[in-house]
Amino acid sequence: MPSTAPTAPFDLTLSHFADETQLVRRLLPLARLSTEEDTLLQRYAPLITDQLREQRRHGNGIDALLSGFPLGSDAGRALLTLAEALLRIPDTATCDRLITDLLHAADWKRLAHSDSTLVRLARWTLEHARHWSERESTEPLVRLGLRAAMRELERHFVMAEHIDEALARRNPAFAYSFDMLGEAAQTQADADRYDAAYRQALLALANGHNPGGDSVSIKLSALHPRYEPRQAERVHAELWPRLLALVQLARQHDLPITIDAEESERLTLALSLFKRLLAEPTLAEWDGLGIAVQAYQKRALAQIDWLIERARSHKRVISVRLVKGAYWDSEIKQAQVEGWPDYPVFTRKSHTDVCFLACARRLLDAPDAVYPQFATHNAYTALAIHAMAAGRPFEFQCLYGMGEALYALLPGHGLHYRCRIYAPVGEYATLLPYLIRRLLENGANNAFVHQLLADDEPASATCDPVADTLMHPEPTLARPLVRVDGSIHAPGICWGDDPAIHALRRTLGFASTDTLTAAPTHQASSATRNGRPVYSPFRPELCLGHAINPADADIDLALNRARAVAPAWAATPVSERAALLEAIADALLARRDQLLRHLVHEAGKTLADALAEWREAIDLCRYYAAVARHDWIEQGPSPLGPVAVISPWNFPLAIFTGQIAAALVAGNPVLAKPAEQTPLIAALIVDACHAAGIDRDVLQLLPGDGQVGALLSADARIAGVLFTGSLATAHAIGRNLASHEHLSTLIAETGGINTMIADTSALPEHLIRDAITSAFNSAGQRCSALRLLCLPQATVPALIARLRAAMAELRLGDPAALGTDLGPLISIDANTQMHTATSALHRAGYPGHQYGQLEGFIPENMAAPTLIEVDRPDALPSDIFGPVLAVLPYAPENLDAVLRGVNTLGYGLTLAIHSRCPSFIDTVIERVQVGNVYVNRNQIGAVVGSQPFGGRRLSGTGPKAGGPWLIWRLTQHGDPCHAGPIDATTQTLAATLRELANQCDADEAAVLLGLIDDYAARSPIGRSRALPGPTGEHNTLGYQPRGAIACMASSIGALRQQLVVAILTGNTAVLADTAELGVWYRALGACCHPVPDPLALPIAACLCVTQPSVAFKQQLARRDGPIVDIIMPTPQGHYPLYRLVSELAVSVNTAAAGGNADLLAASE
């Protein structure tokens, strides 16, 4: 029985991330129906459910269409992707490409039977259109037919394009709430357009016939381009006057107006604005103000309690529209990506339904404060509310085109309630795609339209959410920090969590007593050292501490101590080394506030960037510990020996920590040389490592300038170097290492010119959003930052105008301020270098334009976001490291030339692709050689273990950071490649090689055949592995050939072995032209390239049988272009296969084309 005593009010803060099980148990007494209420419900439920089922079986509405093409099927996603994109694509070539791609991507015959004429006709048409699309003569017919079908679909989603037309189409049996729906405002022009549309709707209602009390709904994100928690000050200063004017206009004409619900992160901001509306004197004693509440949010009942209390204190009645919720999938993804303490929404569908009923009872019990409006398409829910209401006033609401059937049936059963239709109004070409995207992005059962597909079919007795919740009170998903593979990610912050934000901001103050000193871990007794102060890049008067540069004697001492401790550290069991990495992660976790403070003040990072980097550092420690435990059990391959870590200033915590952690867990002592600009952060990290149990000889800090790194890399006691920075410095390190008698390891990540390319099927708002983030996050000071944006000519004018307007909304200023988007560049020199590059572009005929909003004091090293238009990929210099974005328009027929131009640049770090066409995406990935590809999302912020990060060619040597192979590269003679499925091409090549091997003498043939079988079985080419990640995202790690491999053996037998391994890893073997291998050359064709001098050609790596001479290594090190890797066989005579391939990480935003079917199932 429901509780007769009122339950205590729910608290907004405590409910935000409440334990789901405990919360639903508190809600159950309010949600449970009494015996009398349940009897009343059961009186109507069977008849109404049967009638609805019959209508859906034979209906021709949108509900029948979506039932016939389920979102969880390939056919359903293909159909809705066509609906989302087809009408907004301006050119026929892209339309035809999309149609062909999607028609062939689905099996239109393998769908459940449907009695709907519309569904059966649609299936027949799409199945036949798949074959018609293959013939050029019928392509226009298919395109015309599908466009017509999409326009028919428009009528079911969008009421009208203009408010006057919508008013004329009203059904007198219903009331209406009109909304000018669409993507959130991205520019001030967007906000102006929405404001004008809302104003026009209010005036149209005021001037027309409105007997049903029709209303207008307002989406706050449409009224300001930066409606987000971190911009709360701007929102209250700039959005508030606009909102107030619209509500005052509604009050003037006594028109109800409702504030729509949006993402949970914005709830506190929305309520702060609503609170101001309630307190506004010009709106006093007016009961036309309303707000929507989403029942899938854990704070739903707390929000209702808050509204009731506010209404009573102002002696007002507030209209409250209770809905299930429209952003469930995206709420889940955001919580996972940002590391929230828990989900802000219920993860089980029945829990949302319980909350809806509990909220309904609370609303019905407060008629003096609220007027309830229940938005549902669920027959059980509607009848439960009828039973609970017991004659008290309320109204139902439903979405246009989705729920009218249910509410048309109720009067026939004596249930006479007003139903208000939520009616989208706007241009079909933009509003239909918007509504379809909400379906695609929120495919799970809690999503706003999907309720209809799952809720109304079963008999009412099986639909009781209270019964289901009693059986399953637990959530369906692990907490956001826990990934599907069981790994635990570092905690983040929800920017809408006010208590957490206030606590974070309190930690950012910097007092003179906070100063630190970064000094060599061990100091020679007789050495003389130089010291220098360390200042904040944004506040040059703020001294953060001092750095003590090591003397030559200190460096010599550090090298000797590292060499001495190396055997003991190498002998330490892997499990102990992994445990120490986990202890380091815990130490970094405990030092969050101090590390964030220094990231903001010493590195100039914004709060969001600082938090993300801190989380990444912790995740890297845990990830490498997990990989070592998994791959090596107790003892791995022999470590290299003392390793130098030379890290950059742009990620002074994450890269520095990650490189140290990888080297340590592989068994190497580390000499850590941080960037000259950020020594104090490095000192904090090393101190945390020592506190976690790392011996002070195993990890030593050597702060200083580039000379320290040069001395380390030139010393023969160094076995390897991990480096991130410029290509020029990487080459210098390589030349130093080449002077060693032994073969030393260089792992370098060197950045480059990163590209984003779009076709006309790309969604403009999402494309611009991701371009802005990719180019200007961290003030453009990322190796992965977007530098070149390639746009199709047909959309260039509109996209550049939108891009400029969006850039104008970025805020530049103090990185410690919550609302800052861009902090300073790291130094005045960095700013000078960037301006020198942009000035050179200007002189070459490519002028730049700067945008953004400056806030307060602006130091000399602050750089505004700059946009430049270029006409070819090679116009952009490679030395730009700041907020500069070049736009390259291209004609679609010149796509191949553009891709060739991008690839010819030689860089290969990140690439982003925006398109709805799978074939376009595949073409771009195939033509441009990079290490990380991002599809329909931004191209920065690689997540540890989900998107291993690192480039190829001019952008790095590999293996990837945050990937499974980096720790292997820090050992001797190891190879992580195991036997597995063999690629068809590899099988063919192996067969040819076996035939050739059998022509050799018996002993050599036996050796070659063994190698061929082994290499073919273990070759990574053609394989890929799925990587864990958040919902709505698909991550894979695949492998590609490195390219030309020089085979430098001195004997024919050894050359044959090198040729075998190069070819079976997909590469081209470059080797000396010799008559003795003529048969092999002819049989293998393009797989081998005989030349007089293999080193005269561009090569990716060089195979050597024995230790190469210093002269040979120096010859390779002096080459321009990519760093050439020297690869030797293991003592067993096998070459390590992983060093002959490049890793390719691909991250796809699946929400852009179909959401997450697994998440849909999980919510049940």
Give phi and psi for 24, each to the nearest 5.
-65, -30
Element holding 960 (H helix, E strand): none
Sign, Cα dihedral of 943, 946, 952, 957: positive
Among this protein's residues, is 749 annotated catalytic? yes
Among this protein's residues, is 613 annotated catalytic? no
Alpha-helical regions (H) of 1050-1142: 1052-1064, 1078-1084, 1110-1117
Query: ∠ at Cα 250 (246, 252), nearest 5°?
Result: 115
Query: From CA 438, how far away is CA 450, in angstroms rounded?
Result: 10
Contact in structure between 1040 and 1141 (CB atoms under 8 Å): yes
Tokens of 737: 């290492």
Residues 6 or more apart whose CB falls under 8 angstroms from that of 128 comprise: none
Query: From CA 285, how far away is CA 507, in angstroms rounded?
Result: 43
CB atoms within 10 A of CB 695: 16
Q: Which entry of 95, 359, 463, 783 is annotated as an active-site residue?
A: 783
CB atoms within 10 A of CB 389: 18
Tokens of 176: 């209406």
Q: Which entry of 265, 616, 749, 1143 is annotated as an active-site residue?
A: 749
DSSP secondary structure letters along 620-657: HHHHHHHHHHHHHTT--SPB-SSEEEE--SSSTTHHHH
Query: From CA 83, how far away is CA 146, in angstroms rounded?
Result: 9
Query: From CA 901, how far away is CA 895, in angstroms rounded?
Result: 10
CA dist list (Å): 538 to 604, 801, 826, 1071: 6, 31, 8, 54
Label residue 846 exposed, middle or buried (CB < 10 Å: 0-12, 13-18, 19+): middle
Task: Please name which of 110, 111, 109 lies closest in space to residue 128, comparing C-alpha atoms.
Answer: 109
Q: Which amino acid is at 153?
A: L
Query: From CA 666, how far away is CA 79, in angstroms rounded?
Result: 50
Give the three-class secondary structure for 89: coil
Pairing of β 1141-1149 and β 1033-1041:
antiparallel
Give the three-class secondary structure for 22: helix
1138 DSSP assignment: G
Tokens of 234: 């701007």
Query: From CA 595, how far away is CA 593, in angstroms rounded?
Result: 5
Tokens of 244: 């107030």
* Alpha-carbon radius of gyration of the chain: 32
Query: From CA 322, how far away is CA 373, in angstroms rounded?
Result: 6
Query: From CA 783, how far away is CA 939, in angstroms rounded?
Result: 11
Query: From CA 270, how far away is CA 44, in angstroms rounded?
Result: 38
DSSP secondary structure letters along 657-710: HHHHHHHHHTT--EEEE--TT-HHHHHHHHHHHHHTT--TTTEEE----HHHHH
Give the three-class secondary structure for 967: helix
Label residue 144 exposed, middle or buried (CB < 10 Å: 0-12, 13-18, 19+): exposed
> CA torsion, points 44, 47, 50, 56, in degrees to nearest 10?
-70
Residues 6 or more apart whose CB falls under 8 angstroms from that of 1017 comprise: 979, 980, 982
Catalytic positions, please? 749, 783
